[in-house]
Amino acid sequence: MCKSNFLKSREISYKHYPTIEDLDKGDRDLVATAFQYAQSAYAPYSSFHVGAVLRLGNGQLIKGVNQENASYPAGLCAERVALFSAGAQYPDNPIEVLAVCADNPNKKLTQPVFPCGFCIQVMLEFEYRQKSPIRILIGNPDTAIVEFESASLLMPFSFDPEQL
């Protein structure tokens, strides 16, 4: 048996809002827009619709929805659609906040659905590029909402450019 001093602990802090009404108006509108936008996702295989809306430093909103494909790896998550669109259209404008909402017409969601590891890694790359955190809101109008002050709290052991 190998004994190591490597084992550490890390606390993940977040804010919990029992309902969308507990958010301030700006965040409430952002989450509602992400949920509304999720309805236009292209999800014919999973019926799992995700919408993402981010607000840039200049107030511009960038929206994204998941895009499925019969060849599953060729699809793209809503978060990355929005993030890559922002990077292409506004490369020098920082992202302040990103709202992510999921919906499944075949099953009522009762809790927030978190982004996948690929999407979190892309969020982290944007934080690294802009040298500031992105506030993340996750949930939908029918679930609680959780807020993270940085994507790094969603993936505490991430890969970053300094490791290259």
Edge-first strand order for the sheet with 49-56 is: 15-17, 145-148, 135-139, 95-103, 49-56, 61-65
125 is catalytic: no
Does the domain at residues 26-154 carry the CATH identifier 3.40.50.720? no
Could you tell me the pLDDT band of residue 21, with boundaries at 50, 70 and 90? very high
pLDDT of residue 7: 60
Q: Which residues neighbour 88 within 8 Å (Cβ) at sequence distance 6 or greater?
A: none
pLDDT of residue 6: 59
Could you tell me the pLDDT band of residue 4, with boundaries at 50, 70 and 90? low
Q: Check 21, 68, 79, 162 and give the catalytic one.
A: 79
The fraction of the chain above a pLDDT of 70, given in percent, is: 95
Phi, psi of 49 (to 5 degrees): -100, 130
Which sequence spans correspond to the domains of the chain?
A: 26-154
User: Average pLDDT for residues 87-100, to the nearest whole number?
Assistant: 97
| Spatial CA neighbour of 102 closest among 146, 50, 138 | 50
pLDDT single digits (tens) 100-145: 999 999 999 999 999 999 999 999 999 999 999 999 999 998 999 9
Residue 3 has pLDDT above 70, yes or no: no
CA distances to 3, 29, 38, 70, 98 from 151, in Å: 32, 21, 21, 30, 10
